[in-house]
Amino acid sequence: MSYNLLKGKKGIIFGALDENSIAWKTAVKAHEEGAEIVLTNAPIAMRMGSIKTLAEQIGAEIVPADATKVEDLENLVDKATEILGGKIDFVLHSIGMSVNVRKGKHYTDQNYDWTAKGWDVSAVSFHKTMQALYQKDAMSEWGSIVALSYMAAQRVFPDYNDMADNKAYLESIARSFGYFFGKEKKVRVNTISQSPTPTTAGQGVKGFDGFIAYADKMSPLGNATAQDCADYTITLFSDLTKKVTLQNLYHDGGFSNVGVSQEVMEAFVEKESEK
């Protein structure tokens, strides 16, 4: 069902790798709600994924950009405003990567060059993106910028490794830059702290299946899917959330406020009784 929530709006979506990705589903949903979109991803991710299929499906143009390179982002902003014929109404930053996780390095034994690379891709790229948009005055008044986060920014999930630090930094950038974007340009900036989601990026984390099952049992509404997240993101792009900014919004079926659930308790009681 479409509500025309984004009719006439124009946006940039980062990170649509394949149809499992939240960015992909958000792009499809934004298109259904009436938006015009420019898609972007790093050249290497574009070779790995199937972004061209998505572009054809939603009538979008693709502008490749390495989100860690300021000149790439400045070019993206210039090209996107040219393609879309005006200022940008919404941006989704859906990028995250840890080389330490990929290469199996433990949190207590990091390769700091890899740490710096992951930090740049996952968090500093958000600052660089907003700086390019801000300095070029490319956002419309009451525009909306959203980045995807995870609750490991606040609580310990041992196997999430240095991505937890990256997400904490990402959320801080959203607040700090969001203040200036709000004061100067009436643009809102938020992060969505999403349930663990079986995307290509998410599945790179050790023990991920256990993670998902546990979170599902802890959440009164169950885990939020990638599609659920896309739907929620659309509400933040819409005019219905004009005064929501500087927030880290938990989209996790209630997981973040549950100490323990009946199902998890029962699983432990069963194990104890088996001893």
Cross-strand bridge partners of residue 93: 147
Is the pLDDT reported for residue 61 higher than 80? yes
Question: Between the CA of residue 186 and those of 21, 73, 143, what are the distances in Å?
Answer: 29, 21, 7
Q: Do 120 and 68 touch, CB atoms closer than 8 A?
A: yes
pLDDT digits (tens, 9 = 90+) for 226-246: 999 999 999 999 999 999 999
Q: How confident is the model at residue 39 (pLDDT cuts 50, 70, 90)?
A: very high
Is position 212 annotated in a ligand binding site? no
95 in a known ligand binding site: yes
Bridge partners of residue 36, in order along the sequence: 10
pLDDT in tens, 69-81: 999 999 999 999 9
Q: Where in the chain are the domains?
A: 10-274
Judge whether 98 is annotated as a binding position. no
CATH hierarchy code of domain 10-274: 3.40.50.720
Looking up tokens 């014929």 gives 85
Q: Residue 51 has what pLDDT?
A: 93
Per mean pLDDT, which range of 50-64, 163-177, 185-199, 256-270 is the poorest? 256-270
| pLDDT tens track for 3-36 | 999 999 999 999 999 999 999 999 999 999 999 9
234 is in an annotated binding site: no
Outline where DSSP puts E strands in 15-172.
36-40, 61-62, 88-93, 139-149
User: Which pLDDT value is given to residue 269?
Assistant: 83
pTM of the model: 0.96
Q: How far apart are CA 138 and CA 269, in angstroms?
A: 56
- pLDDT confidence of residue 272: 64
Rg of the chain over Cα atoms, rounded to whole angstroms, equals: 19
Active site members: 150, 160
